[in-house]
Amino acid sequence: MITPLQFHPFLRPMPWGDDRLARLLGKPVPKGQRIGESWEISDHRLHESIVAEGSHKGRSLRSLMEEEGETILGQAASRYRRFPWLVKFLDANDWLSVQVHPNDEQAARLSSSEGGKTEAWFVLDADPSSRIFAGLKKGVNEKKLREALAAGTVTDCLHSFEPRAGDCMFLPAGTVHAIGAGILIAELQQNSDATFRLFDWNRRDAAGNSRPLHIEESMACIDWTRTEVEPQFVAEYAQLLGSTPPRDVVRLLVDCSHFRIEYHGRGSPFDAGGMGNMQVWQILAGSASLGSAQLEVGQTWLLPAALPRERCIPKPNLALLVSTLP
């Protein structure tokens, strides 16, 4: 039976995590744990997602890709041995390191076990004092950045802004970036965990040790043209959070060689599936029924390419990210 697939979330404890994944998205966070990431869909070597319900309950995404890859990905199956994305929610209660990710070619040279990592974020919630760093300031070159690293003043080289719920960030490989404290994010990225840490805010652990940095790898990957990266704001999402009934809207947020992401705000029934292309739905607000599946905020669903056409009925409103392969 070909049905929408939901997987058990893989909850990753992080020192910078908090309780928003449980409080706002309903994740089963163990009491007292600080969870920073919920891996919603993963075919990565660090975790292979397991189907939570339905006729495929208990099966891994790895086995589905091996045995039913064309059912999942359609014609794109010939291009991907593994599922092409990591799909996550992130809860940052402290500053994450300043980092940069390689592209596919750079990863092949610099990371023996990972591919390139282009990613996109959608801000679900943000404290008034939070910040996102995205891209270099204009005029920053390698010499200036190395001088700032030596002086511990890297933020002088980075563009930043105060995020708000509804901001979407597209971060191609090579973009220097960091997430500040007090932000809840939905994330879609290439199926890679390749991260080079450029700066870690001069932090040290209880023993006085700092985390390893990857200065030379970072310098080799930075795209110096990625300056002053600004978000795309989805006002309809902010209106929905403010209890303003939204009109039906579909907005293209990201269209790159790795994925296409749309924001959907829905108050009326609509059709899904039956088009031969795989989709991933991240439910941002509201609820709905999709055939026999009940969609709730904080859930992530994989709609296989072979899924027959289904009717989705919002109850009464629904906000979601819909990601497809280009």
Same domain, yes or no, for 203 and 297?
A: no
Q: 189, 214, 235 — which closes off a domain?
A: 235
* 230 and 94 co-located in one domain: yes
Mean pLDDT, the chain, integer: 95
**What tens digit of pLDDT does each residue of 161-201 get?**
999 999 999 999 999 999 999 999 999 999 999 999 999 98
Strands 85-92 and 167-171: unpaired
Same domain for 245 and 269, yes or no, is: yes
Same domain, 91 and 192: yes
Give CA–CA dist 137/97, Å, rounded.
18
Supply the pLDDT for residue 243.
67
- The catalytic residue among 82, 164, 197, 260 is 197
Active site residue 34: no
Pair (40, 182) in one structural domain: yes
Q: Tell me: pLDDT of 244 over 80.
A: no
Single residue among 190, 209, 235 that ends a domain in this structure: 235
Q: What is the pLDDT of residue 37?
A: 97
pLDDT (average), residues 100-107: 97
Output the six-digit token pair for 128.
């008034």
Residues 176 and 296 in one domain: no
Number of domains in the chain: 2
Residues 14 and 107 in one domain: yes
Q: Give pLDDT tens digits for 12-44.
A: 999 899 999 999 999 999 888 999 999 999 999
- With contact defined as beta carbons under 8 Å apart, do 136 and 155 qualify? no
201 and 311 housed in the same domain = no
Q: With 90 as the cut, is the pLDDT of residue 206 above it?
A: no
The CATH number of whichever domain residue 315 belongs to comes to 2.60.120.10
Phi, psi of 75 (to 5 degrees): -65, -20
Q: Per residue in 43-82, pLDDT tens?
A: 999 999 999 999 999 999 999 999 999 999 999 999 999 9
Listed residues 235, 267, 282: the one ending a domain: 235
Domain holding 264, by residue range, is 236-324
My answer on whether 121 and 173 are in the same domain is yes
Query: 140: Cβ–Cβ under 8 A, 6 or more apart, which residues?
Result: 157, 224, 227
Question: In this structure, are 190 and 253 located in the same domain?
Answer: no
pLDDT at 245: 64
Q: In sequence order, which residues have a C-beta less than 8 Å from that of residue 23 and are 6 or more positions away?
A: none
